Structure 1
């Protein structure tokens, strides 16, 4: 049965790609495939077969991502909160900032390795990237705009008319096309050029301290922050005190009491780039996180069972863990000019 499914998937992929190529030919489109490189030690995904990226679509999405016209007052873009230097998260403040000096109640999550996600946001509210874009655009404390108004602004830009025609066959600007281009850009954010990845590929070796930290990680962290993506994509209550916003996490989406105080397990990749940490940016350093897991975990009905007794860490284990976390930093990703704002 599994073999039959695999064969059917391969046939479907071939038909899909053929259909796309023929569609492009009929519309006289000359699109170039964007090279997506997935390391062999990453989980398999058919995402890019289902959502192919062209260089032209990527460049259009890149321009849209950094366009301040998405906000009602022209002050912010997607890239304002999702900054490349912070692995497309926010490094300079704890909570996301929006128009008119407003701010949200959560820290902007880093954007990378999105092809392996099936939901988005700290509480998993969104099951598609289109839903994420729409929510940010319409939020009065984020962009404060409407997609109709944004389209009208983009229509006045002759460069956009040319780029939309290049990617989609006509200069018509619409919500589906805008969202598709944005997705082509952000889904190309693959962070995999770290020392850890080089070790997994037998290109480098850990230092003694990094290896010690890796051992601690496997024994005390890997259950939730499963390698190589360093998250299991689950939602867990890690025993944090309720913040001033009374943010109870996933229960606000599901209405299920069992989800109270549960938030997404974030990836540990690029921790040195993406602080402050956690859903509300309450911690700015590793020692605060270690202290929380050692002695600050608050007991409650929905606390993750793995944290009933906290996570005790010696001084040596803390030092080694930090050294290991440093191997998860992808400097190429955060400095790659292909992902920077277009000139």
Structure 2
């Protein structure tokens, strides 16, 4: 009996010591299991003070789906970024808490490890960590005071444990780090196009025609027809280019009189007036409506714009102005002037960018619904 008592007592002491140690120890750093990044997407950088860990990802996933991040506890990040829609919301402009609409369409969150290093349509955030906190505090988006949010999170035993394991403490910086880690892991690289690149699938004749048009800048001197897409949408990522502000462009939506500030509001440079971030075309078939203000409802509308609907303004991208498949001059409109068959082919190719695995990946889903 004494031996049994001593055994139970020792076990209890060990358990108690483990609890105390777990509460006082520093963060746990478990690298993301089986993490690999497609090499064709190019280089990427992760902040040294926010490495990709399982603990940070789990915390970020919970925060992303939790309406506790909003002042009224009713709006989560996932309210405007829905997984089945490639983390957009299917609206021209997201709803405002004060009624009406926000100024911009909800952007897809796919492949944020790559591409431009400035975020939002107008580039107002210089890092994902900065981007993560802005909607939380914006009065028309989530309207949450960060100190109040920290207080709410600290009352949750589950969140205290997750923060302790991921970063050590509940803080605004660590909220931003966790959300950024989750968003950095939203990698879409298993579409039909990706499988084609890996030699696992073949494109149809129409899709292949569309791919070639997508990659080509038209040159009538050598009878090269093209859709000019790659001039702004980098080849494999299909998002804007990384260098400097190359990932922002004026793509001919408005005249000088109606041109919104766009990137100029951030840089103060008049040459950036009407510049907006070039979005990824990954999963583009499920992210309608299109453009920064959601003005185009379908891919056909988008192609019509580039084909003969370009509006000339002082800061219009010369890559767009010079792209024309017709040899004769004197046309009344500026655009690609492609045939209906060529337009259909490009749209067919764009559909090969849909990644069903990404849209349904349980690791990116709402952890509160699945109990994980």
TM-score (normalised: structure 1): 0.86
Cα pair 2:289 2:296 within 8 Å, conserved: yes
Q: Tell me what 2:285 maps to.
A: 272
- Note the alpha carbon deviations across 1:238-262, whole angstroms, 9 max, x for none: 1112699963311111121111111
- Say if 1:98 and 1:141, in contact at 8 Å, map to a contact too: yes
In 1, Cα distance between equivalents of 2:251 and 2:360: 32
Deviation for aligned residue 1:72? 1.2
Q: Deviations over 1:195-253 (max 9, x none)?
A: 11111111111111110100111112111112101123321111112699963311111
The 5 A counterparts of 1:52-67 are: 52-67=51-66
Structure 1 pair 168–261 and aligned structure 2 pair: CA distance change class (3 A): closer
From 102, 106, 109, the equivalent of 1:108 is 106
Could you tell me whether the CA contact under 8 Å between 2:28 and 2:55 is conserved in 1?
A: no
Q: Secondary structure at the match of 1:99?
A: coil
Q: Paired residue for 1:122? A: 121
Matches within 5 A, 1:69-148: 69-91=68-90, 93-116=91-114, 117-148=116-147
2:229 — aligned with what? 221
SS at match of 2:302: helix
**Aligned position for 2:294:** 281
User: How far did 1:52 drift?
Assistant: 2.2
- For the pair 1:259 / 2:258, whether they are aligned, the reply is no
Residues 258/243 of structure 1: CA separation in 2 closer, same or farther (3 Å cut): closer
On the 8 A contact 1:58/1:185 being kept in 2, the answer is yes
Change (3 A) 1:166 1:244: farther
8 Å CA contact 2:111, 2:187 repeated in 1: yes
1:326-337 → structure 2 map (5 Å cutoff): 326-337=351-362
The alpha carbon displacement at 1:321 in A equals: 0.8
Structure 1 partner of 2:347: 322
Q: Is this contact kept in 1: 2:67–2:73, CA < 8 A?
A: yes
Where in structure 2 are there 5+ consecutive unaligned residues? 1-21, 217-227, 242-246, 322-333
Distance 1:237 1:276 in 2: 18
Give the stretch that moved more between structures: 205-214 or 123-132.
123-132
Which residue of the partner structure matches residue 31 of structure 2? 33
| TM-fit CA distance, 1:63 | 0.6
CA distance in structure 2 between the partners assigned to 1:330 and 1:148 by the alignment: 38
Q: TM-score, normalised by structure 2?
A: 0.80
Of 316, 321, 324, which residue of structure 2 is paired with 1:303? 316
Given that 1:76 and 1:99 are in contact with CA atoms closer than 8 Å, whether structure 2 keeps it comes out as: no
- In the alignment, the residues of structure 2 paired with residue 211 and residue 50 of structure 1 have an alpha-carbon distance, to the nearest angstrom, of 43
1:62 Cα shift? 0.6
Aligned length: 316
After TM superposition, give the deviation of residue 142 of structure 1 in Å. Answer: 0.6
Given the superposition, is the C-alpha separation of residues 50 and 225 from structure 1 closer, same or farther in structure 2, using an over 3 Å criterion?
farther
Q: Structure 1, unaligned stretches of length 5 or more?
A: 1-23
Q: 1:245 to 1:295 in 2, by over 3 A?
A: closer
- Structure 1 match to 2:184: 187
Q: Which residue of 1 aligns with 2:155?
A: 156
Deviation string, structure 1 residues 271-294 (Cα, Å, up to 9, x no partner): 011111110011110121111112
The reply to whether residue 205 of structure 1 matches residue 202 of structure 2 is yes
- Going from structure 1 to structure 2, the CA distance change for 1:225 and 1:174 (only over 3 Å counts) comes to same
Cα distance change, pair 198–149 in 1 and its aligned pair in 2 (3 A): same
C-alpha distance 246-221 of structure 1, shift in aligned 2 (>3 A): closer
Change (3 A) 1:141 1:46: closer
Q: 2:240 aligns with which of 232, 240, 243?
A: 232
- Partners of 1:312 and 1:110 in 2: how far apart? 29
| Distance in 2 separating the partners of 1:256 and 1:271 | 30
1:158 deviation in Å? 1.3
After the TM superposition, which of the residue ranges 36-45 and 205-214 deviates more from structure 2? 36-45
Residue 5 (structure 2) aligns with: none
Q: Counterparts of 2:358 and 2:160 in 1: how far apart (Å)?
A: 30
